[in-house]
Amino acid sequence: MASRGRRIGVGVGVAVVVVAAIGGFLLWRVFGGSAPPPVSLSSLDLPSVAASSGGSPASLDGTWTINTSTTLSDGSGTFAGYRIDEQLANVGANTAVGRTSQVSGSMTIDGTKITALNVSVDMTGLESDDSRRDNQLRERGLETDRFPTATFELTKPIDVGSTPKQGQQVRLEATGTFTLHGVTKPVTVPITAVWSGDLVAATASFDVALADYGIDPPTGFFVLSIADSGTVEMRLLFTQG
C-alpha cells in the first residue's frame, strides 16, 4: 500500500509539473512572445516608397503634414505608442508594446530651422498583442477613456545647421511639452529624420516615469508588476502641404 501510495504521489507530482508547464506556455502565448523591435529608420527602404507621381519637392521650406496613408518597407507607416517591461505569472519578464496609427499634426520648416512641430495621438486606438491588455488600459493605467489624447508641442525652434541632402539621416533634439494622462511636462526628445522623395520620415523615442504623469501601473493575477518607467515611441511620415 505504501509503495502504491508513493507511485500515486509521484504521478500527481508529475501531473502538476506538466500542468504548470502547459499553463506557463499558454500564458506566454497569451501575454508574452516576441515584441516588435524598437522604432528605427535604419532598416527601412525609404527611397523606393517615397517617390510619387508628383515628384520630389525642390525645397524643405513650408508646412509638412503627418501622413497616415503611406506604408514603408516593413509594412507599417506612421505610428505612436509605448514600450514597457512587465513581469507575468509563470512566465517572467516580458516587454509590452502598444501602437496606434491614429496620429495627426504638422511641422513647419523655414530655411535650416524647424520652427513649429505638433503631434497629437489618439490613445484609444492603441493595440498590443493582446486585446485584454488594451481593454485594461482603457480604464486603468493610461486610462485612455478619460484621457484619450497625448500631444507633443515644440517650444523652441530646432536648428538643423544646414539643409540635409536626400537620403541623409540627421539627428536632432526637440525641446517642447509632452502631455500624457492629462499631465503636461517639459521634455527634450531625440529625433532621427531623413528627407526621401516626397516624404520626411522621423523617429523619436524617449523615456517617461509613470509617476510623473500620475499613472498607476495596472497589475492583476497574471501581470505581477510593471516597470516604473516606459518608453514613448513614434515614427512620423510627413508630406508637404
pLDDT value of residue 72: 87
pLDDT value of residue 100: 98
pTM metric for this prediction = 0.81
The Cα diameter of the chain in Å comes to 91
Sign of CA dihedral 26, 30, 31, 36: positive
pLDDT one digit per residue (tens) for the chain, 241 residues: 445 444 434 343 433 333 333 333 333 334 445 688 899 887 777 654 444 435 567 789 999 999 999 988 888 899 999 999 988 776 788 999 999 999 999 999 999 999 999 999 999 999 999 898 899 899 999 999 999 999 999 999 999 999 998 888 999 999 999 999 999 999 999 999 999 888 999 999 999 999 999 999 877 766 778 899 999 999 999 999 7
Could you give the C-alpha distances from 35 to 1, 20, 240, in angstroms and in order?
52, 24, 33
Which residue ranges form the domains of the chain, and what is each CATH number?
32-240 (2.40.128.110)
In 3D, which of 236, 193, 195, 202 has the Cα closest to residue 77?
236
pLDDT value of residue 73: 83
pLDDT value of residue 20: 32
**Burial environment of residue 217 by CB neighbours within 10 A (0 to 12, 13 to 18, 19 or more):** middle
d(CA 24, CA 42): 35
Sign of CA dihedral 74, 79, 84, 89: negative
pLDDT value of residue 133: 86
pLDDT value of residue 51: 47
